[in-house]
Chain A
Amino acid sequence: MNSGSCLTDESIKLDVKGIVKKATELNDFGHLLEHVPYAKFIGMGVERFGDELVFKLPAKDDNIGNPILPALHGGVIAGFMEMSAIVQLMVFMQTTKVPKVVDFSIDYLRAGYHKDSFAECKITRQGRRVANVSINCWQTNRKHLIATARAHFLID
């Protein structure tokens, strides 16, 4: 599908480079997430510590899957990690477009309980057209990962 075919009335022309630049100047990367409805839908945020970005998914009732434990829906954890990787790429590669996911593979290591979750990303390899990113997600202890994932993205 060419990008023009799905342009609709509500679509906005996004100046990705400008947004990233502004976020870097303000040192507020949450600014990037404000432009993405899905990031708001799950309620994620991001903080910068020096050269590192740490993503946060605060506990939210709507994100629950299994009501018995209760535990986060696995898909929400995956979506949170995928969005984290996209922001990581936008910030560190200074992309002009939002990277497109090609594949995403997640291993669930522990139940993600109904509490705050965090993620950090590592760009394992950045080629000319494709980037490989690995993402780790934890809750109370960074060493006790609840999920680990790797993904490929198309960059421009």
Chain B
Amino acid sequence: MNIGDEKDALTQMASRFVDQLTQCRKLKLEVLEGSGNHVLMELPYDKQLVGYPDTGVIHGGVITTLMDTASGCAVVCSIFDKFGLLEISPTLDLRVDYMKPAEPHKPVYGFAQCYKLSSSVAFTRAIAYQDSIDDPIAHAVGSFMRISPEMVGEEFRQALMGGSNE
């Protein structure tokens, strides 16, 4: 989705973050865009994720996972963009409203923003959609606890920075 071949640094970091999460690799979640104020990811359709076998619609839990991942990733990007620090914030709470079922055999996109960073809590909102962001499948709001950058292990830090030191 990015213009040119070079994906920018935050998109790359968001990508590496999501790749670190086992469940997200299982879901084949892919980061399309990452910036200081948003993250966009794609969840491909997979029959294994069906929650309503009579219609082939994927389970709400998968949408929740997409929303949680996109929102958490938006927090990581936002903190890194603002402070140049790597923090991994656990979810405090997440509320998802489901507007309509996801159409089978089509990917679902998750767009998330961290709209407020306070000293100890990060607030997020996210939208899941297929054809248009104006016709959402689900909407989510969440809050994430900020923990000190020292809590991020060296191994994880290196996995996220991808060895490119500035």
Contact = CB atoms under 8 A, between A and B. Distances in A.
Most central of A6, A8, A74 by chain B CB within 10 Å: A74
B47 to A, nearest CB: 6
Interface in A61-106: 61-68, 73-76, 78-80, 82-83, 86, 98, 100-106
A26 interface: no
> How would you classify the secondary structure of chain A's contact residues: helix, strand, loop or mixed?
mixed
A64 B20 CA distance: 10
Interface of A: 1, 3, 5-8, 10-14, 35-38, 40-42, 61-68, 73-76, 78-80, 82-83, 86, 98, 100-108, 111
B98 A101 contact: yes
Interface magnitude class on chain B: 35 or more
A38 B48 contact: yes
Given A41-B49, A65-B23, A6 B97 contact: no
Given A38-B58, A74-B94, 14 more contacts: A14-B54, A38-B49, A64-B21, A64-B23, A67-B22, A73-B22, A75-B68, A76-B65, A98-B51, A100-B98, A104-B95, A105-B96, A106-B64, A106-B94
Nearest to B55: A6
A14 B57 CA distance: 13
Nearest to A71: B90
Interface of B: 20-24, 26, 47-62, 64-69, 72, 88, 90-98, 100-101, 103-105, 152-153, 155-156
Most central of B47, B97, B153 by chain A CB within 10 Å: B97
